């Protein structure tokens, strides 16, 4: 009897009416199952959900820590102010441009690299290791290297190499672009693409290697061209992996703070939302405004996350069905 | 799959083995016997080099003297020395990076241990003896990861300030725990799923207790996954800047915060900047290469095997 109820409880609600004793026992079993889960769950709710509730509350307050006397209820004033403030509107635009371009470019590059690395060639392991390296440099360090060692207009590697190449052809007037001041957002995007392409490559490579080879071989036997195989077999198979890579990448890149902070410190119109929020509360002490902007970010993230969760869920179900 | 265009008219010749010039060396690979892999290899190597250049350049520059580091055109063949490293470790400036490195190690190791202590039982409850609605719980964990840190950082700052936890490395470690816990639970669950059900049942029938089952059946299968999870959590904590920047200051500043001291660095310190970047990235490079195979699984939240 007891084992039967226990087994029923594992599969959801039991239809039989158990006696009070059995029900208590069932409840005990359920709690015994839940117990190992609770510390993690409780910890996470306290440390991530409560602060967000606090952010939500603060977002409706007038609160600048430098003038405490003016603290009070603001209604939706902070939201109105943010959505009418050119600085925040630009930050929203920067965030969108940055996220979309980094995700798309690194996905495309990552796809190309994954397709190449899926083939056998000499030194493939080493090439793969070299490609992963950008992802394993501390983000702040990577941004510093891009700013000082690569993109610096005077002695950076790019302009240095241009000087060297031009000198080979006897010219001493090489082009010396200054991306950091002429297109600072591009500089940030470039460094982020460099860091994120390996991530996309790794996910897509895993996808390629889980591709059922028998259908590909059958298609080859039937005389399908490599392009047709890619278009009709590989790409449909990779679709979920592309979505997964794109959405996970988007979730991280929307939150990008390090590259902006290091490369431009938010100057020249490159502040994205995380950086703008940081500035608003850390330097300007506008707690209410910063919180309202934080809520706006969360709303945007929820939109992305809904898609991300659905993608993960479909992969997850596929795996469970296996 | 069914979208594949139907086979061409039967008159078309089956793929001629004409383009096999490149596949002579490794013979017919499982992948694609008719493709020229040499071309792919060369292309892959060129791209790999291109992506590695900033890293290689950083390493090379860190061994140059400051004068050779900041030249245009670059001086690749300049003499190598350890001056920049000596300088980074405070030879003349007297500013030592050690406190920040120790802070980073403290926060990262503390939070990794705590994450494992919380995530392993949780994953057990989501995989081996699953609770009701375990998928919902799993997705709740994931959804917390999707909330931007910046939306919670102000209340955390205010709380830390009022609780006297500002500039405290243990509090930062606690925040890192919440940051990594969702990923760890997901990863760990997918590793525990690899424990065969038959083995669990067999050990139950043999009358093995919970602890014995965990030790003899679950642990051997799950151990490599647990190690990889730990390494990935370590990497994320080591890399983190925003929380560290807001919640720490003079005493508890971490290595990334130390690095931000170079943001407006003048050209004279290029070799030192590179040396700093190398030193602070080393633990991550080691951990990352060690966890390479499981890295994807971890970063894709266990969705990709």
Chain B residues near residue A309 by CB distance under 8 angstroms: 139, 142-143, 146
**For position A6, what pLDDT does the model report?**
38
CA B289, B290, B291, B292 dihedral sign is positive
Residue of A114 and B250 predicted with greater confidence:
A114
**CA pair distance A203, A245, nearest whole angstrom:** 6
Statement: residue B19 has pLDDT above 80: no
**Chain A: closest CA distance from residue B208 (Å):** 18
Weakest mean pLDDT among A67-81, A272-286, B177-191: A67-81
The residue-averaged pLDDT of A126-136 equals: 91
Statement: residue A129 has pLDDT above 50: yes
Partnered with residue B1 across adjacent β-strands are none
> Based on C-alpha coordinates, what's the Rg of chain B?
26
Nearest C-alpha neighbor of B259 from the set B63, B106, B95: B95
Please give the structure tokens belonging to residue B29: 């690979």
Contact flag A145-B273 (C-beta cutoff 8 Å): yes
The mean pLDDT of chain B is 82
Interface test with A, best of B13, B36, B44 (most A CBs within 10 A): B44
Chain B residues near residue A116 by CB distance under 8 angstroms: 40-41, 43-44, 47
Q: What percent of chain A lies above the pLDDT cut of 90?
A: 36
Nearest C-alpha neighbor of B150 from the set A77, A291, A247: A291
Express each pLDDT in B91-110 by its tens digit.
Answer: 777 788 899 999 999 999 99
Using pLDDT thresholds of 50, 70 and 90, give the confidence band for residue A211.
confident
By CB atoms closer than 10 A (0-12, 13-18, 19+), residue B132 is middle
**For position A189, what pLDDT does the model report?**
96
Please give the structure tokens belonging to residue A315: 């992969």
Express each pLDDT in B118-146 by its tens digit.
Answer: 999 999 888 888 888 888 888 888 888 87
Using pLDDT thresholds of 50, 70 and 90, give the confidence band for residue A107.
very high
Give the Cβ contact number of residue A84 at 10 Å. 9
Length of chain B: 305
The residue-averaged pLDDT of A305-318 equals: 76
Using pLDDT thresholds of 50, 70 and 90, give the confidence band for residue A115.
very high
From the list B3, B118, B178, which residue is nearest A48 (CB)? B178
Interface test with A, best of B61, B151, B298 (most A CBs within 10 A): B151
Interface test with B, best of A64, A120, A221 (most B CBs within 10 A): A120
From the list B3, B178, B278, which residue is nearest A236 (CB)? B3
Q: What percent of chain B lies above the pLDDT cut of 90?
A: 34
By CB atoms closer than 10 A (0-12, 13-18, 19+), residue A314 is middle
Using pLDDT thresholds of 50, 70 and 90, give the confidence band for residue A18.
low
Q: Is A146 on the interface with B (CB under 8 A)?
A: yes
Statement: residue A98 has pLDDT above 90: yes
Contact flag A220-B149 (C-beta cutoff 8 Å): no
Residue of B261 and A110 predicted with greater confidence:
A110
From the list B5, B25, B285, which residue is nearest A228 (CB)? B5
**For position A244, what pLDDT does the model report?**
85
Statement: residue B6 has pLDDT above 70: no
Nearest C-alpha neighbor of A82 from the set A276, A299, A298, A256: A276
**CA pair distance A255, A275, nearest whole angstrom:** 9
Contact flag B5-A58 (C-beta cutoff 8 Å): no
**Chain A: closest CA distance from residue B164 (Å):** 17
DSSP string, B99-124: HHHHHHHHHHHHHHHHHHHHHHHHHH
Chain A residues near residue B288 by CB distance under 8 angstroms: 132, 135-136
- Spatial neighbors of B45 by CB under 8 A, at least 6 apart, are A121, A123, A127
- Spatial neighbors of B75 by CB under 8 A, at least 6 apart, are B64, B68
3-state DSSP of B15-57: CCHHHCHHHHCCCCCCCCCCCCHHHHHHHHHHHHHHHHHHHHH
Residue appearing with tokens 């039991």 = A14
Express each pLDDT in A136-180 by its tens digit.
Answer: 999 999 999 999 889 988 888 998 889 888 988 888 888 888 888
**For position B36, what pLDDT does the model report?**
60
Asked if residue B178 lies in contact with residue A52, where contact means CB atoms within 8 angstroms, the answer is no
CA B286, B290, B293, B299 dihedral sign is negative
**For position A120, what pLDDT does the model report?**
86
**For position B149, what pLDDT does the model report?**
87
Give the Cβ contact number of residue A42 at 10 Å. 11
The residue-averaged pLDDT of B77-99 equals: 84
Weakest mean pLDDT among A25-29, A55-59, B113-117, B185-189: A25-29
**For position A71, what pLDDT does the model report?**
74
Using a CB cutoff of 8 Å and minimum separation of 24, what contacts does A154-157 make?
A154/B70, A154/B72, A154/B267, A155/B69, A155/B70, A155/B71, A155/B72, A155/B74, A155/B267, A155/B270, A157/B53, A157/B54, A157/B57, A157/B74
**For position A320, what pLDDT does the model report?**
62
**For position B267, what pLDDT does the model report?**
52
Query: Does the ipTM exceed 0.90?
Result: no
The mean pLDDT of chain A is 85
Q: What is the DSSP letter of A234?
A: I
Contact flag A116-B263 (C-beta cutoff 8 Å): no
Statement: residue A15 has pLDDT above 70: no
Express each pLDDT in B185-215 by its tens digit.
Answer: 988 888 888 888 888 888 878 887 788 888 8
**For position A68, what pLDDT does the model report?**
73
Please give the structure tokens belonging to residue B59: 């390493």
The model's pTM is 0.85
Q: Hey, which residues 51-90 in chain A have their CB within 8 Å of chain B? A: 51-52, 54-55, 58
Helix (H) or strand (E) segment spanning residue B14 = none
Contact flag A139-B52 (C-beta cutoff 8 Å): no
**For position A5, what pLDDT does the model report?**
38
Chain B residues near residue A11 by CB distance under 8 angstroms: none
Helix (H) or strand (E) segment spanning residue B80 = none
Phi, psi of A62 (to 5 degrees): -85, 110
């Amino acid at each position: 009897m007891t084992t039967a109820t226990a087994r029923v409880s594992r599969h959801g609600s039991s239809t039989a009416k158990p006696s009070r004793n059995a029900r208590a026992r069932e409840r005990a079993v359920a709690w015994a199952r839940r117990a190992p889960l609770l510390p993690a769950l409780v910890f996470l709710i306290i440390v991530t959900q409560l602060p967000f509730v606090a952010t939500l509350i603060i977002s409706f307050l007038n609160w600048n820590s430098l003038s405490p006397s003016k603290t009070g209820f603001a209604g939706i004033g902070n939201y109105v102010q943010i959505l009418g403030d050119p600085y925040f509107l630009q930050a929203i635009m920067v965030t969108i441009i940055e996220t979309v371009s980094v995700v798309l470019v690194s996905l495309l590059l990552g796809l190309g690299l994954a397709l190449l690395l899926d083939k056998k060639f000499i030194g493939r392991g080493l090439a793969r290791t070299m490609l992963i390296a950008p992802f394993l440099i501390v983000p702040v360090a990577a941004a510093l290297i891009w700013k000082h060692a690569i993109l610096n207009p005077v002695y950076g590697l790019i302009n240095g190499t241009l000087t060297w190449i031009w000198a080979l052809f006897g010219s001493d007037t090489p082009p010396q672009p200054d991306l950091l001041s002429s297109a600072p957002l591009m500089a940030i995007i470039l460094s982020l693409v460099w860091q994120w392409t390996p991530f996309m490559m790794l996910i897509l490579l895993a996808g390629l290697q889980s591709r059922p080879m028998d259908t590909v071989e059958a298609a080859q036997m039937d005389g399908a061209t490599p392009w047709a195989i890619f278009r009709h077999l590989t790409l449909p198979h990779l679709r979920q992996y592309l979505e997964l890579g794109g959405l996970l990448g988007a979730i991280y890149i929307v939150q990008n703070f390090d590259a902006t902070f290091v490369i431009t410190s938010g100057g020249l119109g490159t502040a994205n939302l995380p950086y703008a929020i940081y500035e608003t509360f850390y330097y300007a002490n506008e707690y209410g405004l910063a919180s309202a902007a934080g809520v706006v970010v969360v709303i945007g993230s929820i939109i992305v996350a809904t898609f991300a969760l659905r993608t993960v869920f479909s992969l997850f179900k596929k795996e469970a069905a296996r | 799959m069914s979208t594949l265009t139907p086979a061409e008219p039967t008159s078309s010749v089956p793929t001629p083995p004409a383009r096999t010039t490149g596949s002579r060396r490794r013979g017919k690979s499982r992948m694609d016997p008719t493709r020229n892999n040499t071309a792919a290899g060369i292309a892959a190597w060129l791209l790999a080099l291109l992506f590695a250049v900033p890293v290689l350049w950083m390493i090379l520059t860190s061994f140059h003297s400051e004068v050779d580091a900041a030249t245009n055109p670059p001086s690749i063949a300049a003499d190598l020395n350890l001056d920049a490293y000596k300088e980074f470790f405070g030879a003349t400036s007297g500013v030592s990076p050690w406190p920040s490195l120790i802070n980073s190690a403290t926060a990262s190791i503390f939070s990794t241990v705590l994450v494992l202590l919380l995530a392993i039982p949780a994953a057990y409850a989501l995989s081996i003896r699953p609770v009701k609605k375990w998928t919902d719980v799993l997705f709740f964990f994931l959804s917390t990861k999707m909330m931007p840190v910046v939306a919670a950082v102000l209340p955390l700052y205010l709380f830390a300030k009022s609780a006297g936890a500002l500039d405290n490395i243990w509090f930062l470690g606690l925040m890192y725990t919440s940051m990594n816990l969702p990923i760890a639970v997901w990863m760990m669950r997918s590793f525990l799923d690899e424990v065969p059900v038959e083995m669990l049942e067999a050990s139950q029938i043999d009358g093995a207790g919970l602890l014995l089952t965990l030790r003899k059946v679950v642990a051997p299968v799950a151990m490599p996954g647990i190690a990889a999870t730990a390494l990935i959590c370590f990497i994320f904590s080591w890399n983190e800047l925003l929380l560290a920047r807001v919640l720490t200051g003079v005493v508890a500043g971490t290595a990334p915060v130390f690095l931000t001291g170079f943001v407006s660095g003048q050209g004279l310190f290029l070799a030192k900047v590179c040396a700093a970047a190398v030193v602070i990235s080393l633990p991550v490079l080691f951990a990352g290469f060690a966890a390479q195979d499981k890295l994807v699984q971890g970063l894709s939240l266990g969705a990709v095997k």
